Amino acid sequence: MTSKYAIQKLLGGWAVTMSANGHLIATGFDSEEAAALARDQFERGERTIVRKRDVWVIGETFVCESELGGKLIGEVRKLDMNQYHVAERYTQAEFDQMMEDYKDEEGDYPDT
């Protein structure tokens, strides 16, 4: 039987990937054996892929939901960023411009 998962050597460790497309699903394993054990656990359904919440980082300081007008989650330095997937990074100026462009088009700022 062909495995849905594979292991791969990365700089600084080993990872489990999807065999079909090579997407990383688990990283940080110290050895090939540890990665192989994790791969086998995925195969048996003992481990599941946890989708991290998409966020935007604004000005390398603030974290918010990944939509214009999305809720502010907190500050980068105060959050465990391992629980999030950074979908986009914007400078403060870029983000401010997006807000202004939205206001110009819609007549008001998005809900924040």
Q: What is the DSSP string of 2-51?
A: --SEEEEEETTEEEEEETTT--EEEEEESSHHHHHHHHHHHHHTSS-PPP
Beta-ladder partners of 10: 13
- DSSP three-state, residue 102: helix
**Does residue 111 sit within a domain?**
no
Range of the domain at 57: 53-106
Residue 33 sits in the same domain as residue 57: no
CA–CA distance, 87 with 53 (Å, rounded to integer)? 9
pLDDT over 70 percentage in the chain: 96
Confidence bin at 1 (pLDDT 50/70/90): low
pLDDT tens-digit map of 79-97: 988 888 888 899 999 999 9
**Does residue 112 sit within a domain?**
no
Is 0.85 topped by the overall pTM?
A: no
Confidence bin at 22 (pLDDT 50/70/90): confident
Nearest CA to 90 out of 57, 66, 54, 55 is that of: 57
**Does residue 73 sit within a domain?**
yes
Higher pLDDT, 54 or 6: 6
